[in-house]
Amino acid sequence: MLTITDFINILHCYYKSPMVQMYGLESHKIETWRDVYLKSPTQFLISISPQASLFDAIYSLLRYKIHRLPVIDPESGNVLHILTHKRILKFLHIFVIQIIPQYNTLWYVKYSS
């Protein structure tokens, strides 16, 4: 699959090369771009396992400056879910509100009202 980022990297590769002029890109095929892309340094897939904590997921999203983080099953290699900032915020909004009253003591509840 050719993404926008891959296309931009290919354009950077051809722009830096004095041997190929930019107007020559119109005649190129995706096969030649694939060869150029495979010669570039390999990029690893940033993912997280289902056993990882929510903190690790948020840290990975922020550290690598990505918007989507796949949750991949380590045994089968299948994508189980895709985490986004919006889904994490929705989870926190729904479930943290339910958790908050559980840690209040009876003394706090009695004297706060």
- pTM of structure: 0.54
Q: How far apart are CA 31 and CA 51, in angstroms?
A: 38
- Provide the pLDDT for residue 4: 79
Please state, rounded to an integer, the average pLDDT across all residues of the chain.
Answer: 79
Supply the pLDDT for residue 80: 95
Q: Locate 37 and state its tokens.
A: 């892309």
Q: How far is CA 88 from CA 11, 61, 68, 75, 95, in A?
A: 35, 11, 11, 25, 11
- Provide the pLDDT for residue 72: 94
Torsion angle in degrees (nearest 10) through CA of 91, 63, 77, 92: -10
Instruction: Please check the confidence at residue 47 and state whether its pLDDT lies above 80.
Output: yes
Q: Residue 20's pLDDT is what? A: 57
Residue 96 to residues 22, 50, 87, 108, Cα–Cα distance (Å): 53, 20, 14, 19
Mean pLDDT of 50-65: 94
